[in-house]
Amino acid sequence: MPPQPPSTSGINDHTHRDSSSHAPSHRNEQPLITTRSDAGRNDSSRSDPSRSDSSRSDAARVSANALTTQHEGASESEFFSPIPRGYQRGFHKYVVVLGTVMSGLGKGIFSSSLAKMLKDKGLVVAPIKMEGYLNIDSGLLNPYRHGEVFVLEDGTECDMDLGTYERLLDQNLSAQNFTTSGRIFKEIIERERRGEYLGRDVQMIPHVTGEVKRKLRDLAVRGDGRRPADVVFVEVGGTVGDYENGFYIEALRELAFEEGPNSVCFVALTYIIEPPALGEQKSKAAQLGIKRLMEAGVQPHVIACRASNPCSDKILQKIAMFSNVPLRRVFSLHDRESIYMIPEELRQDGIDREILSLLNLHDRTDTSQEDEHREQWKQFVRRLTIPRTRNVTIGVMGKYSDLRDAYASIDKTLEHCSALLGCKVEARWLDTTATTDANVAKQLEGVDAVIVPGGFGMRGVDGKIAVVRYCRENSIPYLGICLGFQVAVIEFARNVLRLDAASSTEFDSQTFKTPYPVISELPEQKKIEGLGGTMRLGGQDVNITPGSLAQFLYQGRTVVRERFRHRYEVDPEFIPQLEAAGLIFSGRHPTRPIMQVLELPRPGSVIHRTPVELLSAEGSADPTLGHPVVAHPFFIGAQFHPELTSRPLRPQPFFAGLVAAALMKKYASSLDLADPSNADVRRWVMTASVSTSATLSGTPRTPRSTVQRA
């Protein structure tokens, strides 16, 4: 078993530590301090056995005088390097991943693959993505410019790479795992306004770089939320040489100097071009990119070469020669069939052994745990890559469909379901901007199931509503996510309740306001709109109706936790009327009248209606009462984003159900659910007639609706 991490109850002082010690000694607890007195030690005192203990002590004292311990913000010191309480110098290690040549090389995929390999060995890992842009977070970024906005459990809106880390590590992250230049500058300005720098002129160096080091050390102490980190993985956004990330690289250079040898491993991800006109790989761009990194004072320890095809020995040798990196630490990172193949193939190349050696971590690994996790992962990859006889086509009807990264989590969740259900899932990305009732049938020709994902704004909404109606009326399996949930409510109100002008207040304009706002902000949200607090973000509990399709997919659970990112809700005034017409709200907020999952009853289901009298303005009984309800084999919507919680070994249930429904639709005549070989599909198919309730037991009813039918 790996050794236990040292106690985090104290804090390092800055006395000299014998270099032969494998773990830091306990220090006296003291106020937050700023610099490491031994950061400037002469490394020769550690490596030269001929030097006496007294000589080493003298050298340490000289260094201590040079880097005098100061309280945070002290004006008499030029150094600023905060150390949080509980930080154990020598225990926490760092792996820094930097990109050269160009952006978009897949630093997040590579870094998360490295982190997975070390986590499988029993180490505690904590990743962080450090972005150079000035936005405080990713919440307002256009998906066309920056891809998907990923939402963490605590509500942080961040870069899509955080989704890659969560999926590969099977680990929930938080705000401490993500930062931007804007957030760092904001925190520094706030500290300055509070007088925390004690009159100092606040500068890029040491204060901005010091704030970066503070964040990294804070994360090291927090670790995975339960234990301090053995290894912090630092991914620096952008490309070496960019103005906006230069201070990150300088901060990391300082961090490596202060932490000492065998504490920080720099990994350079570069790109080997292969111009079609030449027909051979060229390494010059990679050489110059690595040279730019070395000019910043950073010597890489490991180099990974991105390429379309495996890098030749000649290319790897050139990179090693021009970068001062041993050939055994230069690796080919060429294209694979799936990103989930990368961890095992990098492990076979030996990159994990090299990093463990560089950081002196071999004695912390757990071989038996690694073997178990490797076997589980290899089984998943085998299921993902073996030839499959069945295939389904899922139409993803979005408004950013030209850029797949805008729906990265949906794409990966479908891949997880592909391995689970033993079928090939092809996603057909379709833009709904030009979709109408007249052409929707042609657009959805050959599609076995449909996903309508989230989004903001009016563009493409009418097309989404047309898609919902076609799926509902033609029994095409449907999954609506966030906005896809809302447009399903709007479509049902328009075409089943015949409220022709039903819509969302989000789409109101100066010239038109819907008379039937079936989707709107809740009253308590409207009151705080001026404070900018109307977005519901992050993980929240959802109560699931017993006997519903949602409960079946969640394996009988009645309370689940999912992640939200939206502002508008189903207006409570319309809920009784929608339910009476057959729409089932099978997921609700635990205490408030917020609808979070909807579904249509399955054919043959018995719907126990709520005994509520819905009266029109004329006082007559609502004609929908007593009429046959609208039935569908698989029609479900979620106000939350189910794709954000899917993991490779645990696909999200709504997606698994959708793909299974698509298989049933396409292979109904040949797919025998009684066959043991189809057990994985059978698990996700709700075959028996199930009595469902349109009302969650114990949920307070909303007031009687007085909305007039159009």
Annotated catalytic residues are: 482, 641, 643
The three-class DSSP label of residue 656 is: helix
Calpha distance 497→708 (Å, rounded):
10
Structure tokens at 99: 């990109």
Are the C-beta atoms of residues 394 and 449 closer than 8 Å to each other? yes
Going by C-beta distance under 8 Å and a sequence separation of 6 or more, which residues neighbour residue 422? 383, 388, 390, 680, 681
Neighbours of 225 (CB within 10 A): 13
What one-character-per-residue DSSP string does 99-144 give? E-SSS-S-HHHHHHHHHHHHHHTT--EEEEEEE-SSSSSSTT--HH
Calpha distance 312→314 (Å, rounded):
5
The three-class DSSP label of residue 425 is: strand
Neighbours of 278 (CB within 10 A): 9
Closest CA to 322 of 100, 44, 97: 100
Structure tokens at 151: 């939402």
Closest CA to 388 of 427, 342, 411, 419: 419
What one-character-per-residue DSSP string does 481-540 give? ETHHHHHHHHHHHHHTS--TT-EEGGG--SS---S-EEEE--HHHHHTGGGT---EEEEE
Structure tokens at 93: 């290690």
Calpha distance 672→664 (Å, rounded):
10
